[in-house]
C-alpha cells in the first residue's frame, strides 16, 4: 500500500532522509518513532505527496505518488496533521464534512451517503457534543479530535497521522489509539502514525519503524526495535525511564460512548496553551 525505495530528501543540501526503504502492506498498523529532527514528519510528507524526494521513488497503492493528482491521492490517503490550523470560521460539522470532498458529486455536492458517512464519523470519534461550535474556538485537543473525525469520514484505505495524541489528555490518548486499532481491525484501514510516546507506540502498534538522523535504524516488533541498547543509542536516555507496555491490545468501548458518559472534551488545558 505504501512503498518508499531509496528515498532521499534534501533541505538546503542537508539530507533530512537518506536512502530510506519502507514497505507497508495493506492492512498493516505501523508507528514511526525516533527523536526530534530524525525525519519522521518528512517521511509522512513524502508518503502524502506533499514533498518530492531528491532521489528514489514513492508509491501509494501501486501508483507513483508524483503521477497522482491531489484528488486521486485523497481517495487513497487521509492525513491528520500535527498542528491543525483553520484559516476561517467554520462549524465542527462543516470541518468533518470536508472529508467527503474527494467523494461527493462535483455539481450536486453531498449526497445521502456522504451525509451518513459524516454522521457516522462524528459518532465514532465522539465529537457530537461539539456540533455547532466554531472549530477555531476549540482547544487544540478538541480540534485534533475533529480533524480525526474528518479523516474517518474520508474513508480512505490509508490513514496517515503526525503525532495524533500530542494535544490530548491521557484518557483521550488511549481512546484515539483504541480507535486506530479498531479502524485497522474492523475496517482494514492501513495505519501509519508518527508517535513520540514510545509506550503508546509499543502497546498499540505491532510494527515499529525507528528513524535516527534521516535513516531507518530498526524495523520490526516493538520488543526488537526498542531494545535497551537502541534506546540508549538513539534517544540518549537510560531505558529505565522508558516504560513499554506489552500487547495484547484491548479494544474497549467506543469513543462516542465514553464522551457521552463523561462529557469531557479532550482538552489538555483550559489556559491559553490549551486553546
Burial class (CB in 10 A: 0-12, 13-18, 19+), 108: exposed
Check if the beta carbon of residue 10 is closer than 8 Å to that of residue 54. Answer: yes
pLDDT score, position 271: 38
Distance from C-alpha of 216 to C-alpha of 138, rounded to nearest angstrom: 36
C-alpha cell at 91: 462549524
Cα→Cα distances 252→17, 120, 180, 182, 249, Å: 37, 18, 12, 9, 9
Distance from C-alpha of 168 to C-alpha of 272, rounded to nearest angstrom: 15
pLDDT score, position 255: 52
pLDDT score, position 265: 43
What share of residues in the chain are helix, strand, coil (percent, to 5)?
40, 25, 35
Distance from C-alpha of 59 to C-alpha of 199, rounded to nearest angstrom: 30
Helices (H), the chain: 40-47, 70-76, 92-97, 112-125, 140-154, 170-187, 198-204, 222-225, 228-230, 255-262
How many folded domains does the chain comprise? 1
pLDDT score, position 245: 61
CATH no. for residue 172?
3.40.50.300
Check if the beta carbon of residue 212 is closer than 8 Å to that of residue 42. Answer: no
- Helices 112-125 and 255-262 cross at an angle (nearest 10°) of 60
C-alpha cell at 89: 470560521
Residuewise pLDDT in 10s, the chain (275 residues):
999 999 999 988 889 999 999 999 999 999 999 999 999 999 999 999 999 999 999 999 999 999 999 999 999 999 998 866 777 889 999 999 999 999 887 777 789 999 999 999 999 999 999 999 999 999 989 999 999 999 999 999 999 999 999 889 999 999 999 999 999 999 999 999 999 999 999 999 999 999 999 999 999 999 999 999 999 999 999 888 787 765 545 444 445 444 444 444 444 433 333 43
Q: Which domain holds residue 39?
A: 2-274
pLDDT score, position 105: 76
pLDDT score, position 246: 57
**Residue 32: its H or E element:** strand 29-33
Check if the beta carbon of residue 204 is closer than 8 Å to that of residue 249. Answer: yes
Amino acid at each position: 500500500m505504501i512503498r518508499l525505495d531509496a528515498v532521499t530528501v534534501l533541505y538546503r543540501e542537508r539530507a533530512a532522509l537518506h536512502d530510506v526503504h519502507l514497505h507497508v502492506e495493506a492492512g498493516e498498523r505501523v508507528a514511526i518513532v525516533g527523536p526530534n529532527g530524525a525525519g519522521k514528519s518528512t517521511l509522512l510528507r513524502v508518503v502524502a505527496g506533499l514533498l518530492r524526494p531528491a532521489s528514489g521513488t514513492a508509491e501509494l497503492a501501486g501508483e507513483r505518488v508524483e503521477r497522482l493528482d491531489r484528488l486521486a491521492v485523497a481517495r487513497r490517503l487521509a492525513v491528520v496533521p500535527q498542528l491543525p490550523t483553520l484559516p476561517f470560521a467554520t462549524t465542527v460539522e462543516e470541518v468533518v464534512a470536508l472529508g467527503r470532498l474527494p467523494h461527493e458529486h462535483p455539481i450536486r455536492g453531498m449526497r445521502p451517503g456522504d451525509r451518513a458517512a459524516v454522521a457516522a464519523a462524528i459518532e465514532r470519534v465522539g465529537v457530537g457534543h461539539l456540533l455547532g461550535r466554531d472549530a477555531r474556538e476549540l482547544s487544540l485537543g478538541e480540534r485534533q479530535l475533529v480533524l480525526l473525525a474528518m479523516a474517518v469520514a474520508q474513508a480512505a484505505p490509508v490513514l496517515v497521522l503526525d503525532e495524533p495524541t500530542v494535544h490530548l489528555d491521557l484518557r483521550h490518548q488511549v481512546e484515539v489509539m483504541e480507535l486506530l486499532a479498531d479502524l485497522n481491525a474492523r475496517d482494514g484501514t492501513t495505519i501509519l502514525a508518527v508517535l513520540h510516546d514510545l509506550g503508546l507506540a509499543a502497546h498499540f502498534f505491532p510494527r515499529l519503524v525507528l528513524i535516527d538522523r534521516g535513516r531507518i535504524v530498526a524495523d520490526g516488533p516493538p520488543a526488537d526495535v526498542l531494545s535497551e541498547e537502541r534506546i540508549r543509542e538513539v534517544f540518549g536516555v537510560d531505558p529505565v525511564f522508558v516504560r513499554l507496555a506489552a500487547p495484547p491490545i484491548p479494544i474497549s468501548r467506543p469513543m462516542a460512548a465514553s464522551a457521552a458518559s463523561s462529557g469531557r472534551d479532550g482538552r489538555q488545558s483550559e489556559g491559553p496553551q490549551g486553546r
